Structure 1
Amino acid sequence: MENIKFRSDNDNEQKFAREVRKRVRSYFKDKNISIYGNFKMHLKTVIMLGAYLAPFIIILTIPLSPLAALGMVVLMGIGEAGIGMSVMHDGAHGSYSSKAWVNKLVASTMFLLGSNTINWKIQHNVNHHSFTNIFNYDTDISTISVIRLCEHAPLKKYHRYQHLYAFPLYGLMTFVRLFGEISVLLEYNRKGITKQQHADPTLEVVKLVITKVIYITLIIGLPLLLTDFAFWQILIGFFILHATAGMIMSTVFQMAHVVEGTYQPLPDEHNTIHNDWLVHQLLATSDFGRKNGLFSWYIGGLDFQIEHHLFQNVCHIHYPAIAPIIQTTAKEYGFNYNLKPTVFYALASHFRRLKELGRIEHNNKPEQHDYPVDSIQGI
């Protein structure tokens, strides 16, 4: 598939892109602070890892009733989602630390979840962040046929009810990744995408298979060996663990891109979208709440999704500070800053958008918008 070209002849868009980079860059320079994580980020890492590992250790070492064990499993799922959103995510983007080896180590926490980093970087860093909300390029909105997340995807009769069945299916997110990403990696290898990421295709397959064998052995084998729970009870716990994590992560991700007011353009006949890349990210993304306290801390600032997409190399702990800068600049240059006032408002907006996408077919004509690839590194 030919890569999309991002190009804008709109002087106002180019001025906005330059100015917002300048202002965000000046913020860090004037405050004399790093764009990377600090002690707060390191403490969060310990807490999130503890939230995932501590309940598992308790299950293995302390006799528990099935109900108490179920509570521990739910806590594990919350911890797993926290690691994915608040720890691994920044490491994979290289925003956790100025040291590459630290980012690689932190991104490798994905192995604790039975997954790997190469698939995530291709699917998320490359496909999603480079081509946000563009059908057939952003795999987050293009590959789930049972749920229609894009107005340019084929409309099926059963999509009419997707606003009712989508949320339970979101709980399958980590299952799909756990059991389906080997075939995804093989497809990346076949297309040469893995090599483009400077990774050895065969080695990555071997690493992924070994990771999954070790993960399944530990997460199912240890409870079977060290506890009195029956195999069927352990399997139920395994399902609840992943359903909890999947439901949390999928729902949070959808509230940032599949809500009212986020656009989903198509490239023109020359595979070009006519917007500056930063303007595209602004228009294809939404913030929600932004004053959510503990919840915002837990989800790794993903309620500041606009800030993340414009400056993905900035650690999420800085998003609350740079959000007003971006919002003010967008307003000055006449661009919409899509902010849903609360989490529940964003959930309702996603629900309405799902309902709309399940009933309305789009004309699939390219829109006149575009973005420059060289803008992807943010500041």
Structure 2
Amino acid sequence: MERVKFVRQTIKEREFAYQVRKRVRAYFKDNNKSIYGNFNMYLKSVVILSIYLVPFIVLLTRPLSPWIALLLAVIMGIGEAGVGMSIMHDGVHHAYSSKKWVNDLASSTMFLLGSNIFNWKIQHNIKHHTFTNIYNYDPDISNLKIIRLCQYGPLKKYHRFQHIYAFPLYGLMTFSRLFGEIGVLLEYNKKGITREQNVNPTWQLLKLISIKIVYFAVILGLPLYFTDFTFWQIIIGFIVLHVTAGMIMSTVFQMAHVVEGTNQVITDKDHQIKNDWLVHQLNTTSDFGRKNGLFSWYIGGLDFQIEHHIFQNICHIHYPAIAGIIKTTAEEYGFTYNLKPNVFSALASHFRRLKELGNVKNPPATFANMASIN
């Protein structure tokens, strides 16, 4: 797998990294709190899972008009996104619980989305979290062609319209995973990444194919067997479900890294980034809002992305409490803490950034701009 070396440039980077970790640890110790989830997290999981599963059960057991069924598909999409952001995400980061089996159970909710845990761990936990906003290393900004999410990516003529067409395409996110991750896994197998993770490539491929078969048998087969809806009506509901979930998750993810004020970088010739890793996370990530209420609850605290990227092993229910510690420490050492006032300002910032990336050519590839600037 790719290797990047993060090299501190100043003493204050080391001191900031040390102090912010020390102060956050002290918060949990002084308040006698666990870094993992609690009863509120378990209750939340039940509610989120219900938003996804109850409409499906109703659809299978009650005679419904096509319009009511379509509404239930939208609600299922909202629930599916919630499962991914609020349950699976913490489980895969081993932040849901101190117990491995509970984390594994939370992670396994990925199967409800028709996807596998292994691919997500490689793409998200390892590649995205380690190499955040580094072009050609972070797949979240490097792999899309029709949408230019990084200033170092190739600029095409059609990109000047991407601020208009990007948002509808975000709805295809879960479709991309659903139908594309077998190809992604084959690529991981070919590059030896699967074996690097001590996983048998053949077994992992068979497991992924089995997940797909079971998922389609349930999500399409059961409505076809138990309801009077036609196959095409079921397909329409399936599309609505995934477009809803994909639109929500993609938009939330983009508001954390592809907004004004977040750095996008490339490595130098020695595969180095001239920053401490923790400072790099601070420079490439943005929070949005502090009082998003129900929305923050629903998206699993992903509006506190700085906290998540620096302390990904801490359950998201604690992010509001430690955000002030991180912000104060960052400003004390002269680092910018990128905070958008609310969801709408973050969305507007992402829109402007998309427009800018669709019209501005690549910056000169000199070593001076190959590392983030504090």
TM class, shorter-length? over 0.9
Which residue in the other structure is 1:163 paired with? 163
What aligned pairs does 1:270-309 form with structure 2 within 5 A after superposition?
Answer: 270-309=270-309
Which residue in the other structure is 2:260 paired with? 260
Supply the AA of the counterpart residue of 1:340.
K
Which residue in the other structure is 1:375 paired with? none
Q: Are 1:140 and 2:147 counterparts?
A: no
Q: Secondary structure at the match of 2:95?
A: coil
Which residue in the other structure is 2:85 paired with? 85
Which residue in the other structure is 2:190 paired with? 190
Contact 1:256 1:305 in 2 (8 A): yes
Superposition deviation, residue 293 in structure 1: 0.3
Contact 1:6 1:370 in 2 (8 A): no
Q: Are 1:364 and 2:365 counterparts?
A: yes
Superposition deviation, residue 100 in structure 1: 1.2
Supply the AA of the counterpart residue of 1:204.
Q
RMSD value over aligned CA atoms?
Answer: 1.1
Supply the AA of the counterpart residue of 2:199.
A
Contact 1:277 1:370 in 2 (8 A): no
Q: Are 1:154 and 2:154 counterparts?
A: yes
Which residue in the other structure is 1:69 paired with? 69
Which residue in the other structure is 1:42 paired with? 42
Mark the runs of 5 or more structure 1 residues left unpaired by the alignment.
372-379
What aligned pairs does 1:196-345 form with structure 2 within 5 A after superposition?
Answer: 196-345=196-345
TM superposition score normalised by structure 2: 0.98
CA distance in 1, matches of 2:311, 2:370: 24
**Alignment deviations for residues 266-289 of structure 1 (CA, whole Å, 9 cap, x no partner):** 111111011000000001000001
Which residue in the other structure is 1:20 paired with? 20
CA distance in 2, matches of 1:364, 1:244: 38
Superposition deviation, residue 290 in structure 1: 2.1
Superposition deviation, residue 368 in structure 1: 5.7
Superposition deviation, residue 197 in structure 1: 1.7
CA distance in 2, matches of 1:9, 1:348: 33
The structure-2 alpha-carbon separation of the partners of 1:370 and 1:11, relative to structure 1 and needing over 3 Å to count, comes to: farther
Supply the AA of the counterpart residue of 2:325.
I
The structure-2 alpha-carbon separation of the partners of 1:2 and 1:223, relative to structure 1 and needing over 3 Å to count, comes to: closer
Contact 1:84 1:110 in 2 (8 A): yes
Percent identity, aligned pairs only? Answer: 68
Further displaced range: 76-85 or 357-366:
357-366
CA distance in 2, matches of 1:286, 1:98: 28
Segments of 4+ in structure 1 off by > 4 A? none
Which residue in the other structure is 2:123 paired with? 123
Which residue in the other structure is 1:97 paired with? 97
Supply the AA of the counterpart residue of 1:364.
A
Mark the runs of 5 or more structure 2 residues left unpaired by the alignment.
none
Contact 1:4 1:273 in 2 (8 A): yes
The structure-2 alpha-carbon separation of the partners of 1:368 and 1:168, relative to structure 1 and needing over 3 Å to count, comes to: closer
CA distance in 2, matches of 1:165, 1:231: 29
CA distance in 2, matches of 1:83, 1:114: 12
What is the aligned length?
Answer: 371
CA distance in 1, matches of 2:103, 2:121: 13
CA distance in 2, matches of 1:230, 1:360: 48
Which residue in the other structure is 1:108 paired with? 108
Further displaced range: 262-271 or 118-127:
262-271
**Alignment deviations for residues 271-316 of structure 1 (CA, whole Å, 9 cap, x no partner):** 1011000000001000001210000000000000000000000000
**Alignment deviations for residues 137-183 of structure 1 (CA, whole Å, 9 cap, x no partner):** 00000111100000000000100100000000000000000000000
Contact 1:95 1:315 in 2 (8 A): yes
Superposition deviation, residue 200 in structure 1: 1.4
CA distance in 2, matches of 1:169, 1:111: 23
Which residue in the other structure is 1:377 paired with? none
TM superposition score normalised by structure 1: 0.96
**Alignment deviations for residues 66-106 of structure 1 (CA, whole Å, 9 cap, x no partner):** 11111110000000000000000000000001111211111
CA distance in 2, matches of 1:262, 1:183: 31
Superposition deviation, residue 338 in structure 1: 0.3
Contact 1:5 1:370 in 2 (8 A): no
Supply the AA of the counterpart residue of 2:365.
N
Superposition deviation, residue 130 in structure 1: 0.1
CA distance in 2, matches of 1:247, 1:42: 26
Supply the AA of the counterpart residue of 1:266.
I
CA distance in 2, matches of 1:73, 1:355: 32
Q: Secondary structure at the match of 2:359?
A: coil
Superposition deviation, residue 7 in structure 1: 1.0
